[in-house]
Chain A
Amino acid sequence: DTGVSQDPRHKITKRGQNVTFRCDPISEHNRLYWYRQTLGQGPEFLTYFQNEAQLEKSRLLSDRFSAERPKGSFSTLEIQRTEQGDSAMYLCASSLRQGVADTQYFGPGTRLTVL
């Protein structure tokens, strides 16, 4: 399977704990995006990378959130001191930056539940 993969698929944690999610994009894709989706809503942009550079972060991404893409391949999203409001589906997407607009390919998501 050469699609976008995410790990874990589900994570249940207690409030105050730290969690880390991983995204493996399609191998030749140079752009990687993180989105968050709460129940009944469309996804919201969190941050994106071009190769290893993090080019933009949403205001939704508080200081408790950090994302990395150290070698321009896989990416991690860490949430420190989780809160119940962090419960959501965290989606990763990747694309190959070629022209004016790119198709983004989505992973299956990581569903986070903070108790």
Chain B
Amino acid sequence: AQSVTQLGSHVSVSEGALVLLRCNYSSSVPPYLFWYVQYPNQGLQLLLKYTSAATLVKGINGFEAEFKKSETSFHLTKPSAHMSDAAEYFCAVSDREAGGGNKLTFGTGTQLKVEL
């Protein structure tokens, strides 16, 4: 079964500092990978997705992620954190099944705190 591991349940950065949230995947074949963000009392919102078109994926709000097959990683980064980035971030994986639906397996989440 496919899975993702997020290292660090809580990450704290200063405003303007680099944001790095880590995600490693476990899959026998290159999967589809995603980062979602959840603000308090809201549902999840897609930040970006990797579907093999390019290893460096740019998303919304200045976030990007790089797919590294050799490291089985898909870490999320943002050059300069903003207070509004404080939220919980989830890495997710889905099977590359043709017509297989939208079953996502999520990581345990990383709570990002941004300090002044």
Q: Report whether chain A binds chain B.
A: no
Residues in chain B within 8 A of chain A (CB atoms): none
